[in-house]
Amino acid sequence: SQQGEEDPQALSIQEGENATMNCSYKTSINNLQWYRQNSGRGLVHLILIRSNEREKHSGRLRVTLDTSKKSSSLLITASRAADTASYFCATGNQFYFGTGTSLTVIP
């Protein structure tokens, strides 16, 4: 299985702080994607990083990829209450999802 695994499983921070969550996967990949899911809602694509990229930015998001360690991290800077959601990484053409990190941002 190419399933990704995120950690921590749950993270609670104060508004304005940075949130970092990690993802590890098992096999070689072409790209890795991060998604956000608000409770009971569908997935929202956040960012895609290709296997030949090491870091990518999008607004307050910063994603890193270390293919040698088969891991990726998602950093959300200056968090807001609206960032409260579950975050998943996904790999592979068929997108095997990890268990997700539940982020709570306290106003």
Partner 1 sequence: GAVVSQHPSWVICKSGTSVKIECRSLDFQATTMFWYRQFPKQSLMLMATSNEGSKATYEQGVEKDKFLINHASLTLSTLTVTSAHPEDSSFYICSAFAPGTGIGEQYFGPGTRLTVT
Contact residues: partner 1, CB under 8 A: 30-31, 33, 35, 40-45, 48, 50, 88, 93-100, 102
Q: Which of residues 8 and 16 has its CB atom nearest to partner 1 in the complex?
A: 8
Q: Which of residues 16 and 40 has its CB atom nearest to partner 1 in the complex?
A: 40
Q: How far is the CB of 96 from partner 1 (least distance, A)?
A: 6
Q: Which of residues 10 and 106 has its CB atom nearest to partner 1 in the complex?
A: 10
Rounded to 5°, the CA angle 29-34-37 comes to: 140
Cα–Cα distance measured from residue 63 to residue 39, given in angstroms and rounded to the nearest whole number = 23
Edge-to-edge strand ranges of the sheet holding 19-24: 5-7, 19-24, 71-76, 61-66, 55-58
